[in-house]
Amino acid sequence: MQVCASCHGADGNSAGGAYPKLAGQHPGYLVKQLKDFKVQPGTKQAARNNAIMAGMAAALSDQDMVNVAAYFSTQTPKPGYAHNKDTVPLGRKIYRGGIADKGVLACASCHGLIGQGIPSQYPRLSGQWAEYTVAQLTAFTQGPSARNNNEAMHAIATRLSDSEIKAVADYIAGLH
């Protein structure tokens, strides 16, 4: 846990947007993400490409992953805040209603109206750092070279402009 805490915080509330907040995240989702940082049998590369996390996940057994996920899932998430009042309306529109003419579904349809997600399938987004969310949506636009573990998110993210990604990420930071 000390190794995880150095980036994600002892209670799963990381100090800044370079690292995701893990507090209150669904344990099944956390286990899946940890496994996605490892190259799985029959594959040439991990589903998520991150040199730091690849090294960390490589050292974890399946039971270690379950234990780490159980710990962080029971921690209390600290709320986040939207920082750009000018983009909140656009972020809210995308999150709650999507963008029909671009084929972008509402984020809320999978992640819930207040960002609580659906255990194992869709992560809790509420209060997540906007910087981290921007980085992940951008990684989804890059496909296998960056993040190849969710085809639906790849399809959605590639339809969003940079300004739309930033707006929805900032809105998500303020959900609680």
Domain formed by 88-173, architecture:
Orthogonal Bundle (1.10)
pLDDT score at 173: 98
Domain coordinates in residue numbering, the chain: 2-73, 88-173
Non-local (6+) Cβ contacts of 105 within 8 A are 98, 156
High-pLDDT (> 70) share of the chain, %: 99
Mean pLDDT (whole number) for 130-155:
88
For 9-45, the pLDDT digits (tens) are 999 999 999 999 999 999 999 999 999 999 989 988 8
Asked if 2-73 and 88-173 have one fold, the answer is yes
pLDDT score at 121: 84
What class is the 2-73 domain?
mainly alpha
For 72-88, the pLDDT digits (tens) are 999 999 999 999 999 99
Considering only CA atoms, which of 20, 122, 136 is closest in space to residue 80?
20
